Structure 1
Amino acid sequence: MNQVKSKFYYGWIIVLLTFITLLVSAGIRSMPSVLMIPFQEEFGWSRGEISSVASIGILLYGLVGPFSAALLLRFGIRKVVLLSLSVLAVSLALTPFITALWQFDLLWGLVSGLATGMMANVLGVTVSNLWFVKRKGLVVGMLTASAAAGQLLFLPLLAKMTSDYGWRYAMYTAVAGILAVFVIVAIWMKNHPSEVGAAPYGTDEIVQPTPFRGNLFLSPIQNLAYAMKNKTFWLLAGTFFFCGFSTNGLIGTHLIAACGDHGMVEVAAAGLLAMMGIFDLFGTTISGWLSDRFDSRWLLFWYYGLRGLSLLFLPYALTATPAMLVVFSVFYGLDWIATVPPTAKLAGETFGKEKSGMIFGWIVVAHQIGASTAAYGAGVMRDWLGSYSQAFVIAGFTCFFASLMAIRVKRHLTERKGPAVQA
């Protein structure tokens, strides 16, 4: 029976499993924003010191992406995800026993950063490339939105548990979530449509996966060298640097602490991030739908421009009424990570299906370098100046610059030919 023509396509199960995996990974990755104040009170660490750990984790989360793409193709989605979940669970289970900053650095800066990086945007792009020919933009949008959903589900719960029972109980709850995901991935995850006798969605031909013959460590580097010769790569990487600088590195890491500076309790501030997650869940999914139909360059122009306006508004919202923070959360949340589907599409158009996974992974590295810079820089600025306002304003203006960079990207509607580098 042809699976593509049947009423139900198993690829949507894979999308659901990937969504859940990325949801939990994103929820775990956002925990430092909840831990910042409790760690400051219990251990006496400064905002800058705690931010440095988050910064390292964010950076490694991005750096592992291109190599994750190679591992996913070499060993399959199921094995890589199960290994990553196992390492992440061990990291979190050991965290309640830390007593020194270097231990927090090791478990959250290094181990957790590497483990969650294996389950980042590259996983979503790999799934869409292997299982879908049509609806790729929608699938990438849905999987990208999982980060918002993870924030939506995890942050209020973890903040409430931290407030009522202490951060250690919140950590154990996160471990339980990871173990639950491990079980369902082990049972139902498949690596390729051919494993269930199906063709990629949008085609009728059942094909076998192309064996990965490249070097796991050299292939990502070779793809980077190839991409660096293309102006489009630098423009996409540059815009994504500013994307990370203005999202998870800044708002994702510091908004709860910034609200605390203005008298808002931690649980309420986490609720604002959760609200952003609700709107980003819709915004990013719609962005994927739009990227299948409209020029991705102009979508990025508007996304970055509107985000810049919202960040310039934030310092006022923090000192005004709570209603203004709600307005910010809605407006900002709608395009929190809506930039991913059009960026991934432009990378695919420029570099082709075979190379786009790893090259997009390198573009994500630029995103995480920007996020890492903001995570650490905003914490240091807060220690020096006593406020986050300057960091929010700087991020707003960088978004305007990113919007101008986006419209300079040249579209390539046919795949470019490049060196025979396995991707």
Structure 2
Amino acid sequence: MDKIALDGMDRKWVVAAGAALAIVVAGAFSTLAGLLVGPLHQELGWSRSAIGLGSLVNMIVYGATAPLAAALMDRIGMRRVAAGALVLVGGGALLTTTMTAPWQFTLYWGVLVGLGTGATATTFAATVTERWFVARRGLVAGLLTAASVVGQFVFLPLLSWVIDGWGWQAAAYGLALAAAGALPLVYAAVRDPGAEAGAGATAGVTGGPVLVRAKGTVNFLRTGPFWLLAVTFAVCGASTNGVMWTHFAPAAHDHGMPVTVAASLLSLIGIFNVAGTVASGWATDRFDPRRLLGAYYALRGASLLALPLLLSATVDPPLVAFTVAFGLLDVATVPPTIALCRAHYGTGAPVVFGWVSAAHQVGAGSVAYVGGAVRDVFGSYDLVWVGAGVLCAGAALLALVIDRGQRQQVAPERQLTA
């Protein structure tokens, strides 16, 4: 292998590493809201539904930003979008420390943090994968998705410990500092293929073609596969971000479990998320993604239906088994969903997946809000877990009727060579 080819190989993995860092940092903001429910309710006297409204806005803005960010990356480049996202999440976290009213949580966390996390969502991972990699796209998508999982769950015990010892404001300051520290590293690492003469990137997927696809979004909205993918991914959001990331810690606390212990269980879910997502990426390169999705949703639904029977003040083997199972299934849906977007929409897949991700966040935000309202009215989250499990059963059936589509092949003349 000559030096130019080796440099190209190095470059795409440097870009992937920089993207992973941005995704990890932004991901840490995605789950902090679940740890803030108790402190904001107790210290500021806000209702859970008012706090849930901020989470709803955050997730909807997150989802709406994803497809727009994909088109913006096409216009100004991935580097600037990723750097801007880190500025937004850091600034939003700092502003939350000055809150005195619920509307400020909705603005600072809901809008600003939602914009930043949305710009570094799974659409960002799909864009990096599409632009820089030809082979092993499923595996790379799984790895970058796992980076999001690391940010969302691995740091939860630390954030919970900080909140328990120094207050929720200290956790917000810590995340803002993390965003500031990651900013120069991400800016140095992330590049677009057109900015380098690196080998291994895919030509023809940067610039015009993707933007044209974005302008033609109305055409995607007229296709059956898009709506089936959007609905199933909305259920994915409802049964992960909506219930687990937002309500698991307060629900466990209702059963007498310390929040720090509940956060540790969420962290354990995150650890197994990494394994499950990478394994799903590997499987997506080899098996029918529709069947994978059907199996993932069915098993996730069964686990959620069992959860009300497992929650208690202590951690016992059945609850640990749930944690492991849910972790393996939690984000495993992403690689096959990206693969189905690519099979149906070719090089426009990152933008289309952005809109599918928007549905994910609408589902997540709706259940985050409804979950808080149900807890206020009934004094329990049991109905929320059961409802999420039933939704997963429906998603499993819908996944099996998605048309497989025609996998898009990248012609040799469309690849950058040394």
User: Shorter-chain-normalised TM-score: which range?
Assistant: over 0.9
Other-structure match for 1:212: 208
Give TM-score scaled by structure 1 length.
0.92
1:97 deviation in Å? 1.0
- Tell whether the 8 Å contact from 2:298 to 2:396 is kept in structure 1 after alignment: yes
Matches of 1:212 and 1:14, distance apart in 2:
21
Shift of 1:223: 3.2
What's the CA shift for 1:414? 4.5
In the alignment, structure 2 segments of 5+ residues that lack a partner are 410-418
Matches within 5 A, 1:5-404: 8-192=9-193, 194-200=194-200, 207=203, 210-212=206-208, 220=214, 222-319=215-312, 322-323=315-316, 324-353=318-347, 355-404=348-397
Could you list the structure 1 runs, at least 4 aligned residues long, displaced by more than 3 angstroms after superposition.
Answer: 1-8, 207-215
Asked if structure 2 preserves the Cα contact closer than 8 Å seen for 1:248 and 1:371, the reply is yes
**Does the residue aligned with 1:54 lie in a helix, a strand or coil?**
helix
Q: Distance in 1 between matches of 2:27 and 2:152?
A: 7
| Structure 2 SS opposite 1:379 | helix
Rounded to whole Å, the distance in 2 between the matches of 1:214 and 1:119 is 18
Contact map agreement 1:303 1:338 (CA 8 A) in 2 = yes
Give me the CA root mean square deviation. Answer: 1.9
Query: How much has 1:46 moved relative to structure 2?
Result: 1.0
Q: 1:199 to 1:374 in 2, by over 3 A?
A: same
Is contact 1:239–1:405 with CA below 8 Å preserved after alignment?
Answer: yes
Q: Per-residue displacement from partner, 1:225-274 (whole Å, max 9, x unpaired)?
A: 11122111111111101111100111110000001101111111100100
Q: 2: CA distance between counterparts of 1:240 and 1:214?
A: 22
Question: Shift in Å at residue 2 of structure 1?
Answer: 5.8
Contact 2:252–2:313 (CA<8 Å) still a contact in 1?
no
Cα 1:3–1:195, aligned 2, differ >3 Å: closer, same or farther?
farther
CA shift in 2, pair 1:402/1:208, >3 Å? closer
Q: Is the 8 A contact 2:63 2:118 kept in 1?
A: yes
Residues 43 and 374 (structure 1), Cα distance of their counterparts in 2 relative to 1, 3 Å cut: same
Q: Alpha-carbon deviations, 1:44-103, whole Å to 9, x = none?
A: 011111111011101110011111010011101111111111122111112111111111
- Determine helix, strand or coil for the equivalent of 1:233: helix
Q: Which amino acid aligns with 2:332?
A: A
Asked whether the equivalents of residues 148 and 276 of structure 1 are also in contact (C-alpha less than 8 Å), the reply is no
SS at match of 2:329: coil
- Aligned equivalents of 1:360, 1:3: Cα separation in 2: 33
Q: CA deviation at 1:344?
A: 0.4
Residue identity matched to 1:284? T
Distance in 1 (alpha carbons) for counterparts of 2:361 and 2:7: 40
Report sequence identity in percent. Answer: 38
Kept in 2, the 8 Å contact 1:140–1:288? The answer is: yes
Report the Cα distance in structure 1 between the residues aligned to 2:17 and 2:196, rounded to whole angstroms.
16
Cα separation, partners in 2 of 1:269 and 1:320, compared to 1, 3 Å: closer
Structure 1 residues 289, 385: closer, same or farther in 2, change over 3 A?
same
* Equivalent residue pairs, number: 407
Shift of 1:188: 2.2
Cα deviations by residue, 1:137-183 (Å, 9 ceiling, x for unpaired): 01111111112211233211111000001111111111111011101
User: TM-score scaled to structure 2, two decimals?
Assistant: 0.93
Distance of 2:314 and 2:30 partners within structure 1 = 30
Work out whether residues 223 and 359 of structure 1, in 8 Å CA contact, stay in contact via their aligned partners in 2. Answer: no
| Greater mean deviation of Cα atoms: 236-245 or 406-415 | 406-415
Deviates more, 1:80-89 or 1:285-294: 80-89
In the TM superposition, residue 195 of structure 1 has moved relative to its aligned partner by 3.4
Change beyond 3 A, Cα 1:397–1:82: same
Contact kept? 2:157, 2:264, Cα under 8 Å:
yes
Matched letter for residue 310 of structure 1: S
Alignment check: 8 A CA contact 1:60 1:110 kept: yes
